[in-house]
């Protein structure tokens, strides 16, 4: 089974890159399932229903969120009826929607997608490790699901790596989102779980993590906000990771970082 995970979509530039490039990637590399983190897709903060529909129409089988899950007002009203849209599993039980779901892909494969929020350098939230572990225990890899993908949305790469080792042999892929910077540590752990500390973003890298440079730079220099952050609108780079799994175990046999378009060095799936 072949799966593609794409990191945080930032603003119009990121959405346009998904719309323009993702259908071709699915066709060229025969991806069975695609997951996209969409928590910055709408004006850099959150995900509106029309923009969620746009990502789905481009080929996303599942869309995950993060700490900006509720920044767009309409998310609370539509997330409960969208089984392919996930918010972090370790949010309050009062939060609408779900943090994990077993989703069927385009070729009949079943994929458990789990979204979790980290605690290091983040706002206080419930334990992500136990929440993710419970979701996986209820739908074991190789038994009730063909693959398990965990999007761990957090600031600290050490916390993401810890989650990878914690789930080694029980998940197909543990991948970090949130920092918007792709890391060079993509690898397969000893028991067959793929790990990448951050998938990077689908956005314009001629920016400060997807935002026009002026206001972030002003705040670093003066500490005084002068305006809002505005998503950069130059050509986006699609960033993420592609994996291939064993048909029986659901563990990873091959992986490949993905960087397409924009200003970063390019990396196409090596399948």
Q: How far is CA 183 from CA 105, 160, 179, 241, in A?
A: 27, 12, 10, 11
- What is the residue-averaged pLDDT of the chain? 97
pLDDT for position 16 = 98
pLDDT for position 211 = 94
Q: Which of the following is catalytic: 43, 51, 68, 109?
A: 68
Whether residue 269 is contained in a domain is answered as no
Q: Is the pLDDT of residue 264 over 90?
A: yes
**140: containing domain:** 2-260
Residue with token string 């229903």: 49
The token duo for 71 is 């920044």
Q: pLDDT tens digit string along 141-167? A: 999 999 999 999 999 999 999 999 999
| Rounded-to-10 torsion of CA 202, 204, 208, 214 | -140
Whether residue 181 is contained in a domain is answered as yes
Binding-site residues: 8, 39-40, 67, 153, 178, 180
Give the number of domains in the chain.
Answer: 1
Q: pLDDT tens digit string along 218-243? A: 999 999 999 999 999 999 999 999 99
Please indicate whether residue 43 is annotated as part of the active site. no
- Per the document, the length of the chain is 271
Using 50, 70 and 90 to split pLDDT, how confident is the model at 104?
very high
Q: Is the pLDDT of residue 106 over 90?
A: no
What is the C-alpha separation between 57 and 21, in angstroms, rounded? 12
Look up the CATH number of the domain holding residue 198. Answer: 3.60.21.10
Binding-site residues for Fe cation: 8, 39-40, 67, 153, 178, 180
Whether residue 270 is contained in a domain is answered as no
| DSSP designation for 41 | T
Q: Is the pLDDT of residue 133 over 90?
A: yes
Q: pLDDT tens digit string along 46-72? A: 999 999 999 999 999 999 999 999 999
Whether residue 194 is contained in a domain is answered as yes
Residue with token string 């305006």: 227
Q: Is the pLDDT of residue 120 over 90?
A: yes
Whether residue 34 is contained in a domain is answered as yes
Whether residue 43 is contained in a domain is answered as yes
């Amino acid at each position: 089974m072949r799966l593609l995970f794409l990191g945080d979509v930032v603003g119009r530039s990121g959405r346009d890159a998904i719309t323009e490039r993702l259908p071709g990637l699915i066709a060229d590399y025969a991806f069975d399932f695609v997951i996209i983190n969409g928590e910055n897709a709408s004006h850099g903060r959150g995900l509106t229903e029309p923009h969620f529909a746009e990502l789905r129409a481009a080929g996303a089988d599942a869309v995950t969120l993060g700490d900006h899950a509720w920044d767009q007002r309409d998310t609370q009203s539509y997330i409960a009826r969208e089984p392919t849209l996930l918010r972090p599993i370790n949010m309050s039980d009062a939060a609408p929607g779900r943090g994990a779901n077993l989703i069927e892909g385009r070729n009949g494969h079943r994929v458990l997608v789990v979204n979790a929020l980290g605690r290091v350098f983040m706002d206080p939230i419930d334990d992500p490790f136990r929440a993710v572990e419970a979701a996986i225990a209820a739908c074991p890899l190789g038994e009730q699901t063909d693959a398990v993908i965990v999007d761990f949305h957090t600031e600290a790469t050490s916390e993401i790596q810890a989650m990878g080792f914690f789930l080694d042999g029980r998940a197909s892929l543990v991948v970090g989102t949130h920092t918007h910077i792709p890391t060079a540590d993509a690898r397969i752990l000893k028991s067959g779980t793929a790990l990448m500390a951050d998938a990077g973003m689908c956005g314009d890298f001629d920016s400060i993590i997807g935002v026009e440079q002026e206001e972030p730079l002003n705040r670093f220099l003066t500490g005084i906000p002068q305006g809002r952050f505005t998503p950069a609108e130059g050509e986006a780079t699609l960033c993420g990771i592609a994996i291939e799994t064993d048909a029986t175990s659901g563990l990873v046999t091959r992986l490949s970082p993905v960087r397409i378009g924009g200003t970063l060095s390019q990396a196409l799936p090596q399948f």
